[in-house]
Structure 1
Amino acid sequence: MDRHNIVLNIFLTSLVPIVWGSTYLVTTEFLPPDAPLLAAVLRALPAGLILIAFGRQLPTGGWWVRAALLGVLNIGAFFYFLFVAAYHLPGGVAALIMSIQPIIVLLYGVVLFGNAITATQVLACVLAAVGVALVVLRPEAELNVVGVTAGLGGALSMATGIVLTKRWGRPAGTSLLTFTGWQLAFGGAALLPIALVYEGLPPVLTVRNWLGLGYLGLFGALAAYALWFRGIERLPALSVSFISLLSPLSATLLGYWFLNEQLNWLQLLGGVGVLGAVFLAQPNINLFARFQRPRHGEA
């Protein structure tokens, strides 16, 4: 892969956590309150069904199980843990705990595939943790056992989803959009009964609510996850996991621009640290190449 394609792939993949970072802004300003899981269902399930209908292709054989598992890990379980952590922890603490997922991906490579850990990777992990902490933590932040456990579960879910998506690829002859649709549909369907039991149906949705849900469904799910899985196909698993750390940075900047939230020099320094960690994780393009099985007809 030449340098031009590498830069393009990094750029397109980086758009995803930047869009995901807008979720907080859209949720607080456009969506009905106290229904985060139902919002996640309405974000993922319709987008998944639209993509499946467009592609007119369902999983076959063992891909029913694989697609369901990937959908739960990448979307269903991840969203659930994310919202539980957000309810029990200040947003900064939740974001900091979730930022350990590149470390989990790194450890997967060591334990499962015998990859060596380099000094650059360690430095990137340290920069990422310190950078996210400076961006999102506040002096009044407190820990909660349920919230911390959920945050760790979300990090583990996302890291495992990245690794398995890289390892399995997608079936020969299946488009990226169809593959994305399978996962969105399975992930949204897994969340649906939980949302109905714990949150129930919301009151009548306003035009503003529908606009927010439309944005999250079209850009935050359909387009974002298609680019995300494209990035996992073309970049190392560890590189993609570090790119996801742009999400809290995006959320902080959007809060500053649109919600009049404060932004100090420590947060700016943390943002530089996050960008440095993402940059350090990108050069070794062959990292975790063994995760990807050759597709049908490839050597």
Structure 2
Amino acid sequence: MRWVVLTAVAPVAWGTNYFVTHEFLPADRPLYGAALRALPAGLALLCLRRQRPRGPWWWRSAVLGLLNMSVFFVLVYAASQLLPTSVASTVMAVAPLTMMLVAWPLVSERPRTGHVACAAIGLAGVCLMLLTGTEAVSVPGILAAAAAMLVSSFGHILAKRWSAGTDVIASTAWQLTAGGLILLPFAAAVEGPPPALSGPTLLAFGYVTLIATALAFVAWFTGLRHLPAGTVGLIGLLNPVTGVLLGTAAAGETLSVQQTCGLVLVLAGVLLGRPRAAGGHGGHRTPRHPVADERTARAPAPCGRP
């Protein structure tokens, strides 16, 4: 359960990021916004783990930084601008199923029937909680949200495959730093000089950088290292739940019956999909084979030993 709780830090932080970005960050600078989110977070983590990439991790950091940070951040921004939050969150809620399918060939984790069922329950809960049928749907927005979901699912499973035996803070720092460095020249070419930042905007960037990016991605990649991809994907459903609860609290509104039922379904999918401790010992144990134990007990003792 400790890995489940730690992993949950990521989607909860990402859920608050929607509100902070919408309220306090410049809406017309997506490339600079993504770069200023990724690069300072990577440098902050490098201060904690002063390690340089070695061997294949030079190109792995660039690939993962491009997928998990650069492309993903920009696509999420585009989707949030072109779509209502409810529609964008619903598209992203398909991520657990996508992660299960991608994990099968990449890390040999075959989708479990229970995980697929829990993902379907969670997706139904997100749809019930967010979709009202009144939102205007933008085709480019849907494509951006779907692309963000696919890119992040592939990048996260690729990170799970490559990161075995590597310090999780260091590998996260390399990805964030590489992603930020990739974005900077494109931001300068497309958006011109960096935007002027006021005090509240700097504070908002500080929260987005340290909490919603550095801490969140370390927690997420730690969960991917210790939990099945299907379980981590289900925990990610807490992202839209957090966004809805925070938006409701900020607006001073109450949850409708439909939203409450959807919230219960999402939480049920997350809780039912969590890993069970084997034998009540909090971990997986290899069961002893009764036939082998019986043969061992009946085997004669070696010569000279009782």
Q: TM-score, normalised by structure 1?
A: 0.85
**Equivalent residue, structure 2, for 1:119:** 113
Q: 2:13 aligns with which of 7, 19, 23?
A: 19
Q: Does structure 1 residue 190 correspond to structure 2 residue 163?
A: no
Counterpart of 1:21 in 2: which secondary structure? helix
The Cα shift of 1:117 comes to 4.1
For the residues of structure 2 that align with 1:26 and 1:214, how far apart are their CA atoms?
A: 11
For the residues of structure 2 that align with 1:189 and 1:113, how far apart are their CA atoms?
A: 29
**Equivalent residue, structure 2, for 1:280:** 272
Counterpart of 1:22 in 2: which secondary structure? helix
Q: Does structure 1 residue 8 correspond to structure 2 residue 2?
A: yes
Judge conservation of contact 1:235–1:285 (CA < 8 Å) in 2. no
Deviations 1:178-212 (A, max 9, x none): 21110111122222233334433454211111110
Q: 1:46 aligns with which of 37, 40, 49?
A: 40
**Equivalent residue, structure 2, for 1:297:** none
**Equivalent residue, structure 2, for 1:214:** 206
Deviations 1:17-69 (A, max 9, x none): 11111112212332233223322211110121232244232212211111111
Instruction: State the number of aligned residues.
Output: 279
Q: Which deviates more, 185-194 or 88-97?
A: 185-194
Deviations 1:140-193 (A, max 9, x none): 2233221121111111111112211211124x4x53222111011112222223
> Any stretches of 5+ residues in structure 2 without a counterpart?
279-283, 285-306
Judge conservation of contact 2:107–2:161 (CA < 8 Å) in 1. no
Flag the 1:212–1:107 CA change in 2: closer, same or farther, 3 A. same
Judge conservation of contact 1:162–1:241 (CA < 8 Å) in 2. no
**Equivalent residue, structure 1, for 2:225:** 233
* % identical aligned pairs: 38
Q: TM-score, normalised by structure 2?
A: 0.83
For the residues of structure 2 that align with 1:160 and 1:280, how far apart are their CA atoms?
A: 24
Tell me how large the CA RMSD over aligned residues is.
2.3
Judge conservation of contact 1:239–1:282 (CA < 8 Å) in 2. yes
For the residues of structure 1 that align with 2:134 and 2:190, how far apart are their CA atoms?
A: 29
The Cα shift of 1:115 comes to 5.5
> Any stretches of 5+ residues in structure 1 without a counterpart?
1-6, 290-299
**Equivalent residue, structure 1, for 2:88:** 94
Residue type of the alignment partner of 1:25: F
Counterpart of 1:20 in 2: which secondary structure? helix
**Equivalent residue, structure 2, for 1:251:** 243
Q: Which deviates more, 233-242 or 192-201?
A: 192-201
Q: Where has structure 1 moved over 6 Å in runs of 4 or more?
A: none
Flag the 1:261–1:203 CA change in 2: closer, same or farther, 3 A. farther
For the residues of structure 1 that align with 2:277 and 2:157, how far apart are their CA atoms?
A: 15
For the residues of structure 1 that align with 2:195 and 2:103, how far apart are their CA atoms?
A: 47
**Equivalent residue, structure 1, for 2:54:** 60
Flag the 1:259–1:53 CA change in 2: closer, same or farther, 3 A. same
Deviations 1:98-143 (A, max 9, x none): 1111111222244556655443223212212211112222322233
Counterpart of 2:242 in 1: which secondary structure? helix
Deviations 1:240-260 (A, max 9, x none): 111111111101101111233
For the residues of structure 1 that align with 2:191 and 2:16, how far apart are their CA atoms?
A: 23
Q: 2:123 aligns with which of 129, 138, 141?
A: 129
For the residues of structure 2 that align with 1:216 and 1:206, how far apart are their CA atoms?
A: 15
For the residues of structure 1 that align with 2:109 and 2:151, how far apart are their CA atoms?
A: 21
Q: Which deviates more, 246-255 or 70-79?
A: 70-79
